[in-house]
A and B are shown apart, each in its own frame.
Chain A
Amino acid sequence: MIFTINDLKVLSILISGDKYGLEIVQEIGETGTTLLLGSLYNVLKKLESNGFVKSYWGDEVEERAGNRRKYYKITAKGQDVVEENQNAFGLMWGLS
């Protein structure tokens, strides 16, 4: 699989813990870039179908009008990708 910058950004965010879609978008937004939800789901779907992340449903939340949050968890395979691409992450997040 060829990773895009967005794939790697999402993986690097999930390293710090399980997160749901809006949470990931907000964290990416804090770095000064924008990712729309549709693009994010696209990325997550691709990562999930290739075994880099797993998803599970949380409980219903009142502020979401009773809809559940879908959380994403990075797998060991995904963690390997993050470790292999540490340099790229450093450049992406301005940490180099």
Chain B
Amino acid sequence: MTASGIPIDDDYVQDFQWYNDFYGYYGIHNDGGRWEPIWEFDGGGYVSEPIEGGSLGFMLNNAGNADEINGGFIYQEMHANDLQKLIQGYQSNFNSLAIGTNYLSQEEIEFPKITSKNLKKPNKIASLRFLIPKAYREEFIGDLIEMQVTLENEGHSKWWVFSLMVLQIANVIWHAAFFKLKELFPNSIKKD
């Protein structure tokens, strides 16, 4: 089996790219044309501890049915963020794992090419995150995106929503700058 030419579900392209970059390898399961991350499953429970020498979520299921891998692994859909958390949590174990060696060597697998075409289109507001001070970034970007979605669903014009978003960003930057200045010059700025 070769993996090329099989469409990749957009939801997983980014995390695919993430751990492809991170480990120089990938392990996702293709089930009927949809790529899904796989991970070790503790028969009816949730994610278990990795078995020593196993391959937690990083094995390409060549058989097309995850149960057939070795009876110990089954696949399940997993959100990209959860996958990243899991990977980070077990990061220290990965160095000793023999990834995918039971099935196909890396040379035998033709990996699908990730191009800018199939990368998910980023949210315009989220792409401005570099402007936001780190202390507020995740909270603010999340609030902003949620606000944008709510307002657009309420039927407000895109320009009005966009203007409001810009105003919110400017407001956050102003407050962050004010705090910074206050820290630097505590005696010059009296406002509490």
Contact = CB atoms under 8 A, between A and B. Distances in A.
A89 interface: no
B173 A38 contact: yes
B138 A68 contact: yes
Contacts of B79: 60, 66
B179 A42 contact: yes
A20 B139 CA distance: 9
Interface string A14-45: 00000011100100000000001111011001
Contacts of A9: none
Nearest to B122: A65
B138 A39 contact: no
Contact of A67 (B80, B138, B174, B192): B138
B81 interface: yes
Interface string A64-77: 11111110000000
Band of interface residues on B:
20 to 34
Secondary structure class of chain B's binding surface, majority of residues: helix
A83 interface: no
A55 B175 CA distance: 19
Given A36-B167, A66-B81, A41 B142 contact: no
A91 interface: no
Interface residues of A, number: 25
B140 interface: yes
Contacts of B178: 42
B146 A61 contact: yes
B118 interface: no
Contacts of A37: 140, 143-144, 147, 168, 171-172
Contact of A42 (B138, B149, B175): B175
Contacts of B172: 37-38, 41
Given A2-B192, A69-B142, A70-B142, 11 more contacts: A4-B192, A38-B174, A38-B176, A41-B136, A45-B135, A60-B81, A61-B142, A65-B123, A65-B142, A67-B142, A70-B138
Nearest 9 interchain pairs by C-beta: A67-B142, A38-B171, A38-B172, A64-B142, A70-B139, A22-B143, A36-B171, A38-B175, A42-B175
21 contacts: A21-B140, A22-B143, A22-B146, A36-B167, A37-B140, A37-B144, A37-B168, A38-B172, A38-B176, A41-B136, A41-B175, A45-B179, A61-B146, A63-B149, A64-B141, A64-B142, A65-B142, A65-B145, A67-B142, A68-B139, A68-B142
